[in-house]
Structure 1
């Protein structure tokens, strides 16, 4: 069932018919239950509701920003500030990475993918390089802090690492890897950046009027949430609590316009992503119950109390992140690590995040961007992407591993 599920997610076709990622994940989870590989109670225990609620809250916040016209303002700014296609790619990647360091990368790509597609429509540019640039930079940038992505939040919770303790050690690494990724993207996609593309029709996007007063209120909620993310440890707050509260407050602000506005926000929450994670967690429960995790960990010399080296952990987390996605992989590998070894936990957070760039299903951000593109008729080929994803992921992970070895020596 495990292999079948991920084969469907990767191939996305059966008898010529396309299979959505969430459909494959839910089908895999249901089959795990029906065939008795995992019991309902085991499946329930493995569903990480903190991650799901965190994503739901950030999606509501993002949808509220969209309703108030935030996208239109950002599109106009980007088009004025970055007038060339190469400059636009670098600008989008830099902005996405910076925001992903202080805000959940999944929420950032939810915001930036429609923005990028609108800008590509105006430039008549091939949207695929820019879509890839969004999730590649979101994944790398999000590694900089414990609030940048769900797996970092899990690491911080499981290992008890504080926001500043983590960030001062990882920010220099993410800056280096972002510079490398930007250079590689411009080189690998150089030809496609110069090619005109009219695949985004003029009917694809609908411009919304900017509601200045409500937009200011929702932006204030967003800034407050970012501050609380940074202060979550000393305040004793959970990341999902802040995200859910921010989403609920932004929904209330939008509801002051009309009940239809609230319906707009609810419709623009990507429920398929939440279903994808729910099904995936059940599949992971089956992988653990069947002994698959133990077999895989033994191949890398982990488990049974063995403390892995930084290199071994980097390799294992890279492989597992692309088999089960990075959030479940961190949840699984975290059960095998000693609590007090900060460098190993940072290694798990960083390499599992960077590994997300290897395939289109390596991270939730990738899937969000891909699904958003499909809504507008832009399809990304799983196997063609590997030509870009493998070099970027491998090189950034090698850099990260070398950096973390040096960090371990200094500590």
Structure 2
């Protein structure tokens, strides 16, 4: 009993310290990022005996990680084929007309985030978009914030748009087609509201900076390989079809990655180097942390506390708000795993609500989602600094609008699902 007490104490300390690190994105003066922090937390739990190796392995949702790996392989191939660079350049042709450019940027970002992965889209688009804007003497920050916001909204359209959607699709056994059909209207309306808000704030912005000075060589140009781009696009199309027809998602993604690696033009080493191994490590670490926390019965205690206050977390609109609050204040990737431990998914609508609420919850703060952080980091490399306050100026109205739309949609659909 005493050993169990100390193990529980270790688990609580590790989880609290790790989540503080995840929220801050660093840990003191140590050169640790979020993936390193999560991994280190898992190592401490194993080393102290708070969690056994068998329990740790059992806690990891391997089908979700396999799907993510497959999607990242495809995304890496599309980037190496110059597809993203080509697409971003085509969008950039409309920079001179913000009234056209902002809707095109937001809607195209949303669509590609839904079909591929919002983090990858942000990595690929940010440097090209930044360079194009600066070359036209346009202030890039509003457009880069719009890129991040649209990626968070758009990724909610499918169960492959971000890592969290992949996980909940597997854990809750959600239908790919039915979820996308349910999510279409709130995602579409949220993207439209994002367009209107960004256009309004951009038009009334009083912020004017000196023109950024960059050399063209500071952005890597990837030659457009038409044959490989078509191959990648066809494989994405076939993969989505496989998901829509209910074929095993992890197996479909794995087969798709195998077809990508069968390549005469691009070395498999280069493709695999483009896989975001850090994200896979982050989620593995979070799975292990939450398995340890479950041993303490903390999730049940949290649920009982809310129940004692008359708050039923399974009610869809409460689930949405709870997911939104945790996602924004803890980072939506970290908050999502905790939500799955606290809220039992008893109906399909709960799974839908958690997936879409989690996607929308990345838009309030600069630190709320990995996509936001990617845009900020990639822009900083090109001497463009997006501040927390600037992001919040756009994040507040977009988040309020998207959650208002979502809550209304939940109210309507809860009568039928």
Same fold (TM over 0.5): yes
User: Residues 180 and 193 (structure 1 numbering): CA distance in 2 closer, same or farther, change over 3 Å?
Assistant: farther
Contact 1:74-1:115 within 8 A present in 2 as well = no
Alignment length, in residue pairs?
403
Aligned equivalent of 1:288, options 282, 288, 294:
294
User: Residues 244 and 360 (structure 1 numbering): CA distance in 2 closer, same or farther, change over 3 Å?
Assistant: farther
Separation (CA, whole Å) in 1 of partners of 2:28 and 2:174: 48
Q: Which residue of 2 aligns with 1:93?
A: 106
Contact 1:12-1:18 within 8 A present in 2 as well = no
Aligned-residue CA RMSD in angstroms?
3.4
Aligned equivalent of 2:157, options 144, 154, 157:
144
Contact 1:142-1:148 within 8 A present in 2 as well = yes
TM-score (norm 2): 0.81
1:410 Cα deviation from its structure 2 partner: 4.9
Contact 1:105-1:365 within 8 A present in 2 as well = yes
Q: Which residue of 2 aligns with 1:248?
A: 258
User: Residues 48 and 136 (structure 1 numbering): CA distance in 2 closer, same or farther, change over 3 Å?
Assistant: farther
**Which piece of structure 1 moves more, 185-194 or 275-284?**
185-194
**Which piece of structure 1 moves more, 110-119 or 87-96?**
110-119
Separation (CA, whole Å) in 1 of partners of 2:100 and 2:308: 44
* Corresponding position: 1:350 with 2:366: no
Aligned equivalent of 1:237, options 244, 248, 271:
248
1:248 Cα deviation from its structure 2 partner: 2.9
Separation (CA, whole Å) in 1 of partners of 2:28 and 2:355: 38
1:95 Cα deviation from its structure 2 partner: 0.4
Which ranges in structure 2 are unaligned for 5 or more consecutive residues? 1-13
Contact 1:326-1:356 within 8 A present in 2 as well = yes
Secondary structure in structure 1 of the residue aligned to 2:93:
helix
Separation (CA, whole Å) in 2 of partners of 1:36 and 1:322: 32
Contact 1:284-1:324 within 8 A present in 2 as well = no
1:404 Cα deviation from its structure 2 partner: 0.7
Contact 1:355-1:393 within 8 A present in 2 as well = yes
Q: How does 1:252-331 map to 2 (within 5 A)?
A: 252-253=262-263, 256-257=264-265, 261-301=267-307, 308-322=314-328, 325-326=331-332, 329-330=335-336
User: Residues 340 and 298 (structure 1 numbering): CA distance in 2 closer, same or farther, change over 3 Å?
Assistant: closer
Separation (CA, whole Å) in 2 of partners of 1:2 and 1:379: 31
TM-score (norm 1): 0.83
Secondary structure in structure 2 of the residue aligned to 1:301:
helix
